[in-house]
Protein backbone atom coordinates (compact mmCIF):
# COMPACT_ATOMS: atom_id res chain seq x y z
CA UNK A 1 0.00 0.00 0.00
CA UNK A 2 1.20 3.51 -0.78
CA UNK A 3 2.36 5.69 2.10
CA UNK A 4 -0.13 8.50 1.40
CA UNK A 5 -3.07 6.07 1.25
CA UNK A 6 -2.05 4.38 4.52
CA UNK A 7 -1.82 7.73 6.31
CA UNK A 8 -5.32 8.62 5.12
CA UNK A 9 -6.94 5.21 5.84
CA UNK A 10 -5.35 5.08 9.31
CA UNK A 11 -6.51 8.67 9.89
CA UNK A 12 -3.05 9.82 10.99
CA UNK A 13 -3.48 12.51 8.31
CA UNK A 14 -7.01 13.39 7.23
CA UNK A 15 -6.48 13.81 3.49
CA UNK A 16 -4.27 12.00 1.01
CA UNK A 17 -3.27 15.26 -0.70
CA UNK A 18 -2.01 16.63 2.63
CA UNK A 19 -0.01 13.43 3.17
CA UNK A 20 1.55 13.92 -0.28
CA UNK A 21 2.45 17.55 0.49
CA UNK A 22 4.12 16.58 3.79
CA UNK A 23 6.10 13.82 2.07
CA UNK A 24 7.16 16.23 -0.71
CA UNK A 25 8.54 18.55 2.01
CA UNK A 26 10.83 15.71 3.27
CA UNK A 27 8.98 15.49 6.60
CA UNK A 28 8.23 11.73 6.48
CA UNK A 29 10.69 8.87 6.94
CA UNK A 30 10.04 5.16 6.52
CA UNK A 31 12.52 2.92 8.33
CA UNK A 32 14.87 5.89 8.74
CA UNK A 33 14.90 6.84 5.03
CA UNK A 34 13.18 9.89 3.53
CA UNK A 35 10.00 8.71 1.83
CA UNK A 36 7.88 9.83 -1.11
CA UNK A 37 4.10 9.61 -1.04
CA UNK A 38 4.33 6.65 -3.44
CA UNK A 39 6.61 4.62 -1.12
CA UNK A 40 5.23 1.10 -0.71
CA UNK A 41 4.61 0.10 2.90
CA UNK A 42 4.58 -3.34 4.45
CA UNK A 43 3.65 -4.61 7.90
CA UNK A 44 6.27 -3.78 10.59
CA UNK A 45 7.57 -0.68 8.74
CA UNK A 46 8.26 2.31 11.01
CA UNK A 47 7.02 5.73 9.91
CA UNK A 48 8.27 9.01 11.40
CA UNK A 49 6.24 12.14 10.62
CA UNK A 50 7.09 15.75 11.50
CA UNK A 51 4.04 17.98 12.09
CA UNK A 52 5.37 21.45 12.86
CA UNK A 53 6.56 21.11 16.46
CA UNK A 54 5.31 17.51 16.89
CA UNK A 55 7.07 14.33 15.76
CA UNK A 56 5.12 11.07 15.61
CA UNK A 57 6.71 7.65 15.17
CA UNK A 58 4.44 4.67 14.45
CA UNK A 59 4.78 1.02 13.43
CA UNK A 60 2.50 -0.40 10.72
CA UNK A 61 0.52 -3.32 12.18
CA UNK A 62 -1.98 -3.93 9.38
CA UNK A 63 -2.65 -2.80 5.81
CA UNK A 64 -6.29 -2.40 4.75
CA UNK A 65 -7.84 -0.51 1.85
CA UNK A 66 -10.65 0.82 4.03
CA UNK A 67 -11.49 0.87 7.72
CA UNK A 68 -14.11 2.24 10.06
CA UNK A 69 -13.20 5.32 12.06
CA UNK A 70 -13.37 3.42 15.37
CA UNK A 71 -10.95 0.76 14.08
CA UNK A 72 -8.45 3.06 12.36
CA UNK A 73 -6.01 3.12 15.27
CA UNK A 74 -5.68 -0.69 15.10
CA UNK A 75 -3.68 -0.29 11.86
CA UNK A 76 -0.67 1.13 13.71
CA UNK A 77 1.07 1.35 17.09
CA UNK A 78 2.44 4.67 18.34
CA UNK A 79 6.09 4.12 19.25
CA UNK A 80 7.00 7.69 20.15
CA UNK A 81 5.37 11.11 20.25
CA UNK A 82 7.50 14.14 21.02
CA UNK A 83 7.15 17.91 20.95
CA UNK A 84 9.80 20.50 20.18
CA UNK A 85 9.97 23.41 22.59
CA UNK A 86 9.59 26.90 21.21
CA UNK A 87 12.27 29.22 22.62
CA UNK A 88 11.55 32.13 20.28
CA UNK A 89 9.86 34.27 22.98
Beta strand residue intervals within 1-75, DSSP E: 28-30, 33-34, 46-51, 54-60
CATH 3.90.1510.10 is the classification of domain 3-83: no
Global pTM reads 0.87
Q: What is the per-residue pLDDT for 43?
A: 95
18-67 pLDDT tens trace? 999 999 999 999 999 999 999 999 999 999 999 988 999 999 999 999 99
CA distances for 82 relative to 23, 38, 49, 55, 56, angstroms = 19, 26, 11, 5, 7
Give pLDDT tens digits for 69-89.
Answer: 989 989 999 999 999 876 665
Domain ranges of the chain: 3-83
Amino acid sequence: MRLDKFLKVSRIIKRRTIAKEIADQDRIKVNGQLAKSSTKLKVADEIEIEFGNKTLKVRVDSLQDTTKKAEADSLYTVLEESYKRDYSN
